[in-house]
Structure 1
Amino acid sequence: MKKNWFKKTMASTMLGALVVSGALSGCSGGDSDKTTITVWGMGEEAKSLPKIAEEFEKQNPKIDVKVQAIPWDQAHDKLLTAVASKKGPDVVQMGTTWIPEFGSAGALKDLTPHVKDYPELDPKNYYEGSVETTKYEDKMVGVPWYIDTRVLYYRSDLLKEAGYDSAPKTWDELKDAADKLADRGKGKYGITLDPKEQSLSFMFARQNGSELLDAEGKPMFNEPKFVEAVEYLNSFYKSGAAPKEDLGLDIIQAFGNDGILPMFISGPWMIKMINDQAPDLKGKWSTAVLPAKENNLSALGGSNLSVFEHTEHEKEALKFLSFMSKPETQLKWMDMTNSLPSTQKAWEDPSLKDNELYQAFGEQMESSKPMPVIKQWEKIAQTYLSSYEKIYRGGANVEKEMDAFQKKSENILKK
């Protein structure tokens, strides 16, 4: 027994030594002299990133990609810690509204000098609006990864019954159609305008010609064009065309069935959800660009990819960004996640170009802009929601409430 025990112990010791030796030799050279880059992915995207990273590794066998999944509600603090310690990921997913803050902190590498070596990163490949979200001062500190914008979803069958053979094209038509749809009876509405969607009023204000901020960066939230847009949105609640309260219904349920909410404004992910969850609606609904006032600007969102300033693997990180920016990669990513590609070339693919439901998004991208790219914007937008609630729910005077919001915003911008 002792003899067998001794043999097993010696075998285990030798095996352990071999493993350690192999690990050390792998770090120093041989056929395992790979570079590992760390990519921080946020939210749902992080679940699919390892799959697309495998494709990158096949094309770049000397590079391993380690994806670290981080919940959105923890990501901001983790990034702050990484900035302070100068130890973080090589590549990081960035919410578009975070770019100014982390750009000003010097946390994101300027990609401009690298475009000549990595042409996929050239801003000319992307929609102008999405490029805006990657800029800090005169630096390009990220590349658009995927994009989303907002369009109008509508029940074409119910709109036809209300006298509309196509989607409303103007503000006046949208209000008229919503009122007529709401007149179908108790418990029926014309449209849902989510009052907790912080970009909604700003988007409509831009459609009315508001610049939101003047050339010096001063807010313009109590100017006539902004006030008029808020009054227009509030008119849907006042007439009963839009519900003030959460109806406790899933949007797809409310869109289907009897068309309790036959119009809504949302992003591209809803297409697959409606097709999957309400197949009986096929042929009874569609998408359209937003109705216009002076213009029909929509809000542009999505995510960017940036290289951490303190990375020790700049070349490999840039290769990864370049790979993720290829049209063919972006189309695969869309198949996996329903995220719209950011490169204009990808939109020439038949899967998008010939799909009527996605065509509206491609057209809307020509009239889409991000919210102002300043680090205080998130705070301003959150502050607006409380002001807006006093209006649509509490009946507060729009002009007075916007005067108060203007002062709050000015104070936020001073900090």
Structure 2
Amino acid sequence: MRRIRTVAGGAAVITLLAAATACGGGTSTDGGSESPKTLTYWASNQGPSIEADKKILTPELKKFEKQTGIKVKLEVVPWSDLLTRILTATTSGQGPDVLNIGNTWSSSLQATGALLPWDDKNFEKVGGRDRFVESALGSTGAEGKDPAALPLYSMAYALYYNKVMFKDAGIDKPPATWAELTEAGKKLSQNGKWGLGAEGSNLSNNIHQVFVLAKQHGADFFDASGKPTFTSDGTVAAVKQYVDMMAKDKIVAPGNAEYAQNQSLSDFSKDKTAMVLWQAAATTFKSQGMDDEEWGVAPVPVQSGTPGQGEQVNSMVAGINIAVFKNSKNIDGATEFVKFMTSDAEQKILCQTYGSVPPVKAAQDDPAFDRPELKVLRETLATSAAALPQVPDESQFETNVGNAVKALFAKAAGGAAISTADVKAELTKAEQQMASQ
């Protein structure tokens, strides 16, 4: 999702979240429509470009218009802007009727009161709760509350590797542990090419990677009560392990510290980088001229053994949810559109196009979702993925800890060694920022 969500950093985002009220679609050039025959829809940038998304979605929206008589005004919003746009809409009342959100934001946006709750009555409008995969519903809001959104596209992280570069380096299989990845990465980091791609300025990607590594170190960023535990030994070790791939192991290019929006996928597609950790990347590779035969896919490595639950978690539960602003002037049309987008037929079309896994059970029966890449993603989601903390301040977590990792990558790119004390200092700052917000 383009797969990775880049959360806009800074105090402005946090202030907006704190001030958010239960406002929704309104009347403006950018906002929700009052006409029963029109809707506004903010779609997240899922494909290789915004224009590609418009090309993919427009025929489907025309299909919905033909079926229902409701015209949908589409805007594809870049991930770098999406959270800020949503939070601004919750305070101004000038938002869309329907929007996509990163599933990790569900609890934070739920806490604003701006999104339509999917209670039993609303679930019935889209065919019932049982149509959806339960793990996908686990990232739609806080436990014990009606979901704030419905799953639209499900994804997980995988390790993508360049088969030709592996063969040339004498590596006969993808790494299964981080030690194997580091060893392979050093062999591959030669002659201006690099072993592993990263996106050090992509705050959400930073969070996704260190969250998984923290799980593998037996730690988490929040305790059972939702209190931040950013400076525990396990979380510090996780962040250091990730940043050391550039600072110590030298398998990530220093320039990756500035990457924030798919540049690592571009490097991979151009044979500049041999491995990348990403969510459902096949569509992007193809759009950039890379044949399917050129790359392989494997589960994200673990510290030892094989992926599973507990300390063998190797992905966050990734995905995109679709939500309705509660104060939309066209709730009936908005829920009808959600029903269309989550229908079996549309799920097969859209998830196949975007290379994601349908969160609707019946849609997964299509043979299109049995190809090797999606088998890895489906297995990961079923057996070794964990949802990010469903806490109200999750977006601040992504901003503060994401920026801490970004700062450490910037130091590493400048040639500095990163000590445990350096990591703890940045995470202490992030934890203090959480407490002051």
Q: By the TM > 0.5 criterion, same fold? A: yes
Pairwise CA distance, 1:391: 5.4
Structure 2 contact 199–258 (Cα < 8 Å) conserved: no
Return the alpha-carbon distance in structure 2 between the equivalents of residues 407 and 163 of structure 1.
43
Structure 1 contact 300–369 (Cα < 8 Å) conserved: yes
Q: Which residue does 1:267 correspond to in 2?
A: 279
Structure 1 contact 112–139 (Cα < 8 Å) conserved: yes
- Give SS of 1:239's match: coil
Q: Which residue does 1:194 correspond to in 2?
A: 199
Pairwise CA distance, 1:34: 6.2
Return the alpha-carbon distance in structure 2 between the equivalents of residues 404 and 34 of structure 1.
50
Return the alpha-carbon distance in structure 1 between the equivalents of residues 320 and 74 of structure 2.
16
Distance 1:103 1:176, change over 3 A: same
- Give SS of 1:283's match: helix
Return the alpha-carbon distance in structure 2 between the equivalents of residues 155 and 80 of structure 1.
39
Matched, 1:363 2:379: yes
Q: Which residue does 2:347 correspond to in 1?
A: 330
Q: Which runs of 5+ in 2 are unaligned?
A: 1-34, 304-310
Structure 2 contact 344–360 (Cα < 8 Å) conserved: yes
Percent identity, please: 23
Report Cα offsets for 1:160-205 as digits up to 9, x if no partner.
Answer: 55554332112222222222333xx442332223323422223322
Find the partner of 2:359 among 313, 323, 342: 342
- Give SS of 2:151's match: strand
Return the alpha-carbon distance in structure 1 between the equivalents of residues 273 and 76 of structure 2.
35
TM-score (norm 2): 0.74
Return the alpha-carbon distance in structure 2 between the equivalents of residues 52 and 227 of structure 1.
46
Return the alpha-carbon distance in structure 2 between the equivalents of residues 46 and 369 of structure 1.
31
Return the alpha-carbon distance in structure 1 between the equivalents of residues 89 and 199 of structure 2.
35
Pairwise CA distance, 1:341: 2.8
Pairwise CA distance, 1:292: 1.4
Structure 2 contact 340–346 (Cα < 8 Å) conserved: yes
Q: Which runs of 5+ in 1 are unaligned?
A: 1-32
- Give SS of 1:266's match: strand
Q: Which residue does 2:424 correspond to in 1?
A: 402
Matched, 1:51 2:74: no
Find the partner of 2:409 among 366, 389, 393: 389
Report Cα offsets for 1:55-108 as digits up to 9, x if no partner.
Answer: 223333xx4132241634665555445434556433222233443333222111
Q: Which residue does 2:250 correspond to in 1?
A: 240
Pairwise CA distance, 1:126: 2.3
Q: Which amino acid in structure 1 is aligned with residue 373 of structure 2? A: L
Distance 1:408 1:228, change over 3 A: closer
Aligned alpha-carbon RMSD (Å): 3.2
- Give SS of 1:140's match: coil
Q: Which moved more, 1:374-383 or 1:118-127?
A: 118-127
- Give SS of 1:229's match: helix
Structure 2 contact 201–257 (Cα < 8 Å) conserved: no
Return the alpha-carbon distance in structure 2 between the equivalents of residues 283 and 47 of structure 1.
26
- Give SS of 2:180's match: helix
Q: Which amino acid in structure 1 is aligned with residue 175 of structure 2? A: P
TM-score (norm 1): 0.77
Return the alpha-carbon distance in structure 1 between the equivalents of residues 298 and 155 of structure 2.
15
Matched, 1:165 2:176: no
Distance 1:49 1:188, change over 3 A: closer
Pairwise CA distance, 1:282: 5.0
Distance 1:120 1:403, change over 3 A: farther
Return the alpha-carbon distance in structure 2 between the equivalents of residues 118 and 146 of structure 1.
19
Find the partner of 2:182 among 156, 159, 175: 175
Structure 1 contact 341–347 (Cα < 8 Å) conserved: yes
Q: Which residue does 1:27 correspond to in 2?
A: none
